[in-house]
Amino acid sequence: MTIRLHWSDLHKLGTYKKGGKWYPDERIAEYFRLLRAPSRAYPHSYSKAALTFKFARWLVEHRPEIARAFRLVAKPFQEL
């Protein structure tokens, strides 16, 4: 059981493009809609957001099937 994602999990949730920029696939793209898109100056803008506790909580609440695949737990988030 885990409470957030790790760098190695990102390969399963999206794709890496030129320059090491990570882009989410359509299942979770909704979460990243209002975030700054990756650029040459900020190539990890989406990937760092995907590694936060906030994103893990969003997955548990909005995409429980994906959260189960990554063994994310909801209990710690109920205390926040």
Query: Residue 25 above 60 pLDDT?
Result: yes
Backbone angle region of 15, left / alpha / beta, with phi > 0 → left and psi within -120 to 50 → alpha: beta
- Asked whether residue 73 is domain-assigned, the answer is yes
Average pLDDT for residues 72-76, to the nearest whole number? 72
Structural domain count, the chain? 1
> In terms of residue numbers, what domain contains 21?
7-78
At 75 the pLDDT is: 66
- Asked whether residue 2 is domain-assigned, the answer is no
- Asked whether residue 33 is domain-assigned, the answer is yes
Query: Residue 47 above 90 pLDDT?
Result: yes
Q: What percent of the chain lies above the pLDDT cut of 90? A: 82
- Asked whether residue 30 is domain-assigned, the answer is yes
At 37 the pLDDT is: 96
Q: Which residues contact 40 (CB under 8 A, 6 or more apart)?
A: 19
Of residues 27 and 80, more confidence is placed in 27
Query: Residue 77 above 80 pLDDT?
Result: no
